[in-house]
């Protein structure tokens, strides 16, 4: 299991609003098996097998083109561990536990 954050930004659309694209991404994620995901104010975070995540990245990156965009910039960060099961909940929980202590 890996965790990745992804931000998909269409360039040159003439609108400063990005939320329609983010909403469309989440509609696509809703129908995607084998992953968990979470909306944050700066990126969408996805948990799953790395190969599955890479397929999802390709789909989300391609979406704005289907909506008419002519250029897309996608930023991704992948976090992956071999020594421990990595989950979104585990990552924030581990920090919150330290903060609460």
> Distance (Å, rounded) from C-alpha 91 to C-alpha 96?
9
Q: 93: which 2 tokens?
A: 């929980």
CA-based angle 59:46:97, to the nearest 5?
170
33 makes contact with its own copies (CB under 8 A): no
31 makes contact with its own copies (CB under 8 A): no
Instruction: Say how many C-beta atoms besides its own lie within 10 A of residue 8's C-beta.
Output: 23
Count residues near its own copies (CB under 8 A).
59
Residues that bind its own copies (CB under 8 A): 3-5, 7, 9, 11-20, 22-23, 26-27, 38-43, 45, 47, 50-51, 54, 57-58, 61, 65, 69-84, 88-89, 91-92, 94-96, 98-99
């Amino acid at each position: 299991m890996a965790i990745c954050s992804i931000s998909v930004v269409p360039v040159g659309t003439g609108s400063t609003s990005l939320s329609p694209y983010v909403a469309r991404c989440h509609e696509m994620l809703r129908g995607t098996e084998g992953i968990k995901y979470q909306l944050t104010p700066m990126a969408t975070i996805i948990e799953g097998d790395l190969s599955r995540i890479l397929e999802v990245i390709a789909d989300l990156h391609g979406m704005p083109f289907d909506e008419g965009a002519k250029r897309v910039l996608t930023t991704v960060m992948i976090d992956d561990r071999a020594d421990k099961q990595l989950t979104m909940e585990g990552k924030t929980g581990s920090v919150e536990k330290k903060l609460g202590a």
